[in-house]
Amino acid sequence: MAQPARAPAPERNAETGLAFPDTIGPARKVGSIDYSQSNAAPELGYAWNYETQAITTTFYIYNFGIAKIPPGARSSVVLTQFQQAIADVETGAKAGRYEQLKPSQGPGDCTVGAMVFRCITFTAILPRDKRPVFTRLFVTGYRNYVLKIRQDWPQNAPAAAREVDVVIQAFASSAEP
């Protein structure tokens, strides 16, 4: 059976009103996917990928078929999705995406602009070149959807550490509470 073509996600997500333009802060959009068209899995929603030379950021919007998703970082739905997202990071590590994955900050709540996320940062080693990296996860409820953000950036790189924050702040400032 042929794989379906990857359908790009729209620049503006109609369900939440969130926009994913060509750039967010210093990061350039390098791709996106609409899982309902690409995988026939509308409950998986959408993903948008952004990069600078040093960092990667991926935004996900989905509902997993859940009818009611309260806003913010504290609902049982969001906490369950946060735990699932951590398990996904750990599964990725076991599959070879990272080595020596360890939590370094959190889990806790992170406030960015008017948005509050459940968040955690891990340290890890990239297997192919043994570079130490941070990988960060944010999850919140937003307009009846789950908004998840993943970021990777090199350790010992203050400019990259500033960039990840600038991208998140630029995104949050474009979102309406």
Residue 69 lies in a domain: yes
Q: What phi, psi does 92 have (nearest 5°)?
A: -60, -40
8-state DSSP, 44: G
Q: What is the pLDDT of residues 23-76, one digit of tens each?
A: 999 999 999 999 988 888 888 999 999 999 999 999 999 999 999 999 999 999
pLDDT at 4: 56
Is residue 1 included in any domain, yes or no? no
Range of the domain at 68: 23-174
Give the position of tokens 């990667």: 56
**Is 38 inside a domain boundary?**
yes
Is 111 inside a domain boundary? yes
Q: Is residue 66 part of a domain?
A: yes
> Which tops the pLDDT comparison, 3 or 23?
23
Backbone angles phi, psi at 166, to 5 degrees: -60, -40
Q: Can you give the pTM of this predicted structure?
A: 0.94
The number of domains in the chain is 1
Torsion of the alpha carbons at 57, 30, 85 and 35, rounded to the nearest 10: 150
- Token pair, residue 81, equals 């999705």
**Domain CATH code at residue 35:** 3.40.1000.10
Residue carrying structure tokens 């990857």: 6
Residue 132: the pLDDT is 97
